[in-house]
Every structure is written in C-alpha cells, then in structure tokens.
Amino acid sequence: MSKYLYSIVRCLPDPRTGEFVNVGAIAGDPRTGDWAVRRVSNTERIKRFAPNAAIDVTDRFIVRLTSQIAEAREALETSDSLPFDEQWLQRLHHDHRNIVQLSPPAPIVANHAEAALDIIFRHMIIDPASQQRPVTIRKSEVIEDLRKAYVDAQIPAHLLRPRSEVFIGDKLHSNVDIAIANGEVMQLAQGWSFRVTHLDRVITQVKAWGFALERLRIGDEARLVDTEGRLSSVARDVDLQIVIATPETSEQEAAYEEADQVFRMLHAGVHPVEDVAAVGARAAGLVRGIS
C-alpha cells in the first residue's frame, strides 16, 4: 500500500453560513500520477439541501476535474512528467472558497486512487448507491501495482524498462508494459484489466498483442527497445508474466476466458493483481541468476 492524499468536495449553497453537504472526493498519489475523482450517486440528500443552481456549480467543477485527470492520465502513457503534485491539491483547497470548497488535503493509505475513494465513501461520505456498483479497475492501476512489486522485490532501477516496444521480425512490433532487461531481456510483464466497461476493446488489444508475441515464441528474431532507445535481445523462451484484474461479472468472465486462450498459447504465467508480488519475486530470481 502507498500513501495517497485526498480532499472531500463540498457544496455550500450559502458560504456565509458555513453549512455544507459533501458531494464527492478526489484522491491521488503525487509520486505516480494516480488520481481519481468521484461524485456521490445518491443526489436526493443534496437536492434537499441545495438549490439546483448550486448543484450545477459543483457538478461542473467535478466534471472539469474528471476531464483534467483523464487528460493527465493519457499524457502519462507517453511521458514521465507528473502534472498534479501535492501543491496542486493544496491550491484547489485554497482557491475554492465559495459554493465549491475542498477539505484540507489529508493522507490516506490505499493500493489505488479508486481504492482510496472506496474508503472515503464508506467512512466519510454516506452514499449507498455508489457502494452497490461493480468496481472498475483500470489497466494503469494494474501496471502501477506491477511496478511497485518490482520495487518491493528490489529489482535494480536500471533494469526496469517500462513502456518498451518489442520488434519481431521485419514487420511486427508490440508494446510491453514493463521489461526486465540489460542487453538481454530476462522478463516481459504485461497488465490487463477485465473489470472495465469496454471489454471488446480489451479483447482486441489482447489478440493483437498475442499475435505479435506468438511470432516471438515460434522463433522469429526479436529485440526490445526501451524509451531511452536502448536495445536488448529477446529469446523465444523469455519469461512472460501477465497480471490481471480478475473479472467479476458474467460478461467479464466471458471476455477473460477468450483472452486466457491467448495467454495459454504463449505459455505465460498469469497472476491476479492480488498476487502481483509473485511476479516481482520471480524477476528477483532471474536477476540473481545473472549476477
């Protein structure tokens, strides 16, 4: 688990009275860029407390915040820069003193930003409707857990090659979430989430990724290129590990069964995200083998 920061978003119909109602929360880890925001699902209590004009103001604020976090998350896929730091949340608290106000940033321990919000909504914001919905876990959250597992396993930082590409033969290439390499790849690791809405997109991505990796397994020449342009060779029998956010609904189960056929074909180790430490431990053994 890691330390996250959070603020509760409040609506004050008349800021002069100081009376407020909690309408949502924001939580994130400034060190990794894992941020999330959530609005209460049960709005009846808010409507009894605040007029529509005040609710509209808070809704627009949360929508704008959600959009900013989504854009930052997409940017993080191609850049290591972290646009939202601890001071950013502090400024939000300081700058919003009218109808919308944020509680002072406070620490909370959780695995992900969404998990932090689950805790906040369970203990600080009473919202029964939101607690009944299926939990969504993003692929980026799975990859962050994978990164932490490597750190916990004390894999040297210079061996970690996140967001690399594997080029196979003359025409194929595929993204790799994290590789352990130093001139030669010791392990390839990929994260997938089956607790998402757009399952068709996940299956398409798994199949495209699997097609490229199948050529590697067959024996086509392959090389890995990391974000700094460093090259490493990839053997056909390279250790391949997959970490997944396991399915919960019948639709998610069906999608996973289809993807699992690809994983089996590639002779990959598959681990639920709750057991991600096993991937780090396996990598540690491989690294010790070359030292």
178 closest CA partner among 157, 153, 152, 147? 147
Q: Is residue 26 a contact partner of residue 46, using CB atoms and an 8 Å limit? A: no
Query: CB within 8 A of 57, min separation 6: which ones?
Result: 11, 99, 100
Residue 129 has pLDDT above 80, yes or no: no
Which CATH number is 139-290's, of 2.40.128, 3.40.1350, 2.60.40, 1.20.1530?
3.40.1350
Tell whether the model's pLDDT for residue 60 goes beyond 90: yes
Among 89, 76, 78, which residue's Cα sits nearest to residue 33? 76
Look up the pTM and report it: 0.59
What is the tens place of the pLDDT at every residue in 171-229? 899 999 999 999 999 999 999 999 988 899 999 999 999 999 999 999 999 999 999 99
pLDDT in tens, 144-176: 999 999 999 999 999 999 999 999 998 899 999
Residue 53 confidence class, pLDDT cut points 50, 70, 90: confident
CA-to-CA dists, residue 19 to 22, 40, 45, 99, 225, angstroms: 10, 18, 14, 10, 56
Residue 229 Cα distances to 161, 163, 212, 223, angstroms: 11, 11, 20, 11
**In terms of residues, how long is the chain?**
291
Say whether 77 sits in a helix, a strand or coil: coil
What does the domain layout of the chain look like in residue ranges? 2-131, 139-290
121: exposed, middle or buried (C-beta count within 10 Å: 0-12, 13-18, 19+)?
buried
